[in-house]
Structure 1
Amino acid sequence: MNEKTTSTQAVEPATDTAPTPAGRQSAAWTILGVAVLLGLGYVVHFLTEWVPAATKGTGFGAIAKSIEFPVYAILVGFAANAILSLLGVRKKMSKAFRTEFLIKTGLVLLGASINFTVIAKAALPAIAQAVLLITAVFLFTWWFSGLLGLDDRLRALLSSAISICGVSAAVAAAGAVQAKKEQLAYTASLVIVFAVPMIFLLPWASELLGLSPAVTGAWIGGNIDTTAAVTAAGTMAGEQPLQIATIVKVTQNALLGVVAVLLTMYFTFKAQREAGDTSSPKLVTMWQSFPKFVLGFLIASVVATVFASNADPAAAASAIGVANDLRTWFLILAFVSIGLEFSFGSLKEAGWKPVLVFAVATVVNLAVGLLLAVVLWNGFSF
């Protein structure tokens, strides 16, 4: 009996909680990946500031100062992707490229820059324009992309990006519908390709059409897909158009959470139907599908508004500035990560259809946006 017991005890495996060599190697590659990501982020930050300064006064200078950091971030990410893949180390570092975490953190910080007291300055026309324009353009883009047979998740990203606020809306939609990173990268690239020409086109077209400052600002704010590009175009149009453009764009940004909730509800219903479940979605299921960062986004906006209205103006501006700087850094790292994780084969897989959808929907967006701007803002006085 003792021999059996001894023998049994002898073959019991020893408990070893020390990391295995493979685990230590994986951790080392992850740490190296973080270092690479931070280094690339610094390169992007450097290029964003250096290129406009270096090209100032040249033919390219006017364009360079309007190019946003996502352009540099994705391009730098793509280049690093190719180099690291050739060296055979990209997949080993992949745990460091936390695109989803970085993007969601950046979006929560984005909420801190949306002050609801600003929206109140022109609440009725801004809200009416945002709701009508987002609804019309989203539904058209959803319908047209469905007509071309695009995947529902890519349809959601394209529709959100065009109708709301470009990259940020695509990011929020991606979280809500659990889209592929390749789909997000493709949509973000289209946003940038189409937004940059609009910076110059809309101020010029507004002057050609003889639009009032308020109508010009509303058209710019409602139709250019990214906040930074709206600011650039508004600045080119003048101080008053810039004020209205900012208010309209902030109003659209504030509707990000609403659209994310509606998309979550739609995809939850759809998933249950495909599973043969005809019952109403359970609250638990809805909560599990709901992108929690949207709540953080909304809470940050409310906190920033309350803080700004009660704190010393200089202190409030400084705090919001810090939040905006952090947001920029998180989004820089997020878009570098997208480039690092991007599968170049997805471009062939996506084909020409998303480009056609974006082009046609942009034309519709411009037409509907101009109509709403004239109707809602023509009698507005500063």
Structure 2
Amino acid sequence: MAGEASGTPATKPGPTNTATGEAGETVRPPTSWAWVALGLLVVLVLAALTRYLEQNVPALTGGTALENVTAAIEYPVYAILLGLLGNAAVTLLGIRDRIAAAFRTEFFIKTGLVLLGASINLAVIARAAGPAIAQAILLISGVFLFTWWLAGRLGLDEKLRALLAAAVSICGVSAAIAAAGAVRARREQLAYTASLVIAFALPSIFVLPWLADVLGLPSAVAGAWIGGNIDTTAAVTAAGALAGEEALQIASIVKVTQNALMGVVAVALTAYFALRVERRPDAARPGPGELWRRFPKFVLGFIAASVIATGYLEAAGVDGKATIGVVNDLRVWFLILAFVSIGLEVRVAALREAGWRPVAVFAGATVFNLALALALASLLFAGVTV
């Protein structure tokens, strides 16, 4: 419920918020522009600190045993942790509810995901059409269904099942955000899923290249295996680099191809939750209008950004990469703001209530993903060179 997710006292009836799963529009205490400005300042300061840590911690730990680990830690970790610390501080000061109007998680998430589309070069995917697309479709379908089944066996909430399944099978945090919009998940569920993604991605950076070497996998097969398993782009890049230049190129193509299918999964989840999960037995079957109302519209912006960026890069060539780099940096800023806001709004008690079962589901799905991705990579990428 909204009061539980955001810490506000009550909700009034209204349509469910598509980005956060809050059952209505939040009723906040009377606030002024001064309080909103203060809340926005808190969000921006924590976001700037997140960016500083992300960019400087690897350099500060350079030459130490932690260098490779800190280089692979992405901004969601810092943003959520700092958001939680900020949450505790403003709660102790008694101003949390007054400044909460500035925690615009939905706006930040949707804008960041639209900008994420600019990093999906459809021309690259088309050139790798055969094995990369085949592996992406088979792997996403298999891992998603297995995770969904396992989470159901352990009795997890339907919305958390969707987030975990999307995160493991597609592209980690970004897929979890898209799934959260489609199924109207709570912020605590999104924060929990994002934490699991990072926790499992970090050891994979070192374990997968080592296993690829032990198993004697060809570079292309190793790259496809890495790209199909690790759930964050930075971690894929780090692991691919350890496995070699050719493995890195294949891993990057495979990961980008899986990312591109995020919109397809969002559409499927929207339809499934509207037609099956949230439909009352005595209610009429939702029509196209209802499905359109529930559908997360930012997915269309994601697709449009991909198409525009692809056309721009084809026309501008190498010179266009700098512009896309600026867009990608802007996307990171918006997603940092989103995760800081999640940390500021989340109820830590709700995270503790989730218990061990989501961890067991994520671990089991990861093992299944490892096995299936290895089989598909060995079958589809044997003899492939770049």
TM-score, L = length of structure 1: 0.92
State the AA in 2 paired with 1:183. Q
Match runs of 1:195-234 below 5 Å: 195-234=201-240
Equivalent residues of 1:272, 1:278 under 8 A apart? no
Deviation at 1:334, TM superposition (A): 0.8
| Alpha-carbon spacing, 1:375–1:282, altered in 2? closer, same or farther (3 Å) | same
Shift of residue 239, structure 1, vs aligned partner: 1.1
Deviation at 1:378, TM superposition (A): 1.1
> Which position in structure 2 is the counterpart of 1:49?
55
Q: What are the residue-to-residue correspondences of 1:67-146 with 2, within 5 Å?
A: 67-146=73-152
Q: Residue in 1 aligned with 2:303?
A: 298
CA separation in 1, counterparts of 2:277 and 2:224? 38
Q: Say whether residues 1:370 and 2:370 are aligned partners.
A: no
Alignment of 1:353 with 2:342, yes or no, is no
What residue ranges of structure 2 are gaps of 5+ in the alignment? 1-27
Could you tell me how far apart the structure 2 residues matched to 1:356 and 1:132 are?
23
Q: What's the CA shift for 1:90?
A: 1.5
**How many residues are treated as equivalent by the alignment?**
359
How is 1:301-316 mapped onto 2 (pairs within 5 angstroms)? Answer: 301-314=306-319, 316=320
Q: Deviations over 1:112-152 (max 9, x none)?
A: 01101111232110011001111111001101101111111
Structure 1 residue matching 2:119: 3-state secondary structure: coil
What are the ranges of 5 or more consecutive residues in structure 1 without an aligned counterpart? 1-21
SS in 1 for 2:64: coil
Give me the identity figure in percent: 62
Relative distance call for 1:155 and 1:23 in structure 2 (3 A) is closer
Separation in 1, partners of 2:321, 2:137: 29
Secondary structure in structure 2 of the residue aligned to 1:291: coil
Using the alignment, how far apart are the partners of 1:275 and 1:26 within structure 2? 44
8 Å CA contact 2:43–2:340 kept in 1: the answer is yes
Q: Which of 272, 287, 311 lines up with 1:266 in the alignment?
A: 272
Letter of the aligned partner of 2:107 in structure 1?
F
Cα pair 2:29 2:97 within 8 Å, conserved: no
1:343 to 341, 347, 350: 347
1:236-255, aligned counterparts within 5 Å? Answer: 236-255=242-261
TM-score by length of 2: 0.91
Q: Distance in 1 between matches of 2:111 and 2:51?
A: 18
1:24-43 paired onto structure 2 within 5 Å: 25-43=31-49
Partner residue, 2:15:
none
What residue identity is the alignment partner of 1:362? T
Deviations, residues 22-79 of structure 1 (Å, cap 9, x unaligned):
9984321111000111111110111111111111001111211111111111111111
Query: Are the counterparts in 1 of residues 189 and 351 from structure 2 also a CA contact under 8 Å?
Result: no
Alignment correspondent of 2:337: 333
Distance 2:154 2:352 in 1: 16
What is the CA–CA distance in structure 1 between the aligned matches of 2:251 and 2:279, rounded to whole Å? 41
Q: Structure 1: which amino acid aligns with 2:64? A: T
Structure-2 residue corresponding to 1:289: 294
Q: Residue in 2 aligned with 1:185? A: 191
Counterparts in 2 of 1:276 and 1:35: CA distance versus 1, 3 Å: same
Residue deviations 1:321-358, cap 9 Å, x none?
Answer: 11001001001111111111111011222111101100
In the alignment, the residues of structure 1 paired with residue 374 and residue 30 of structure 2 have an alpha-carbon distance, to the nearest angstrom, of 59
Q: What CA deviation, in whole Å up to 9, does each residue of 1:159-203 have, x standing for no partner?
A: 000000000000000000010011000100111111111111111
- Taking only aligned residues, the RMSD between alpha carbons, in angstroms, comes to 1.4
Question: 2:18 aligns to what?
Answer: none
Q: Tell me the CA shift for residue 236 of structure 1.
A: 1.6
Please tell me whether the aligned partners of residues 174 and 184 of structure 1 are also in contact (alpha carbons under 8 angstroms): yes
Deviates more, 1:261-270 or 1:232-241: 232-241
Q: 2 CA distance for matches of 1:148 and 1:348?
A: 17
Structure-2 separation of matches of 1:181 and 1:276: 30
2 CA distance for matches of 1:49 and 1:179? Answer: 30
Single out whichever of 207-216 and 117-126 deviates more from structure 2: 117-126
Q: Is the 8 A contact 1:126 1:251 kept in 2?
A: yes
Measured in 2, the distance between the counterparts of 1:56 and 1:135 equals: 40
Which letter does structure 2 place at the counterpart of 1:184? L
Return the letter of the residue paired with 1:326. L
One-letter code of the match for 1:365? N
| Alpha-carbon contact 1:215-1:373 (below 8 Å) kept | yes
Aligned amino acid, residue 282 of structure 2: G
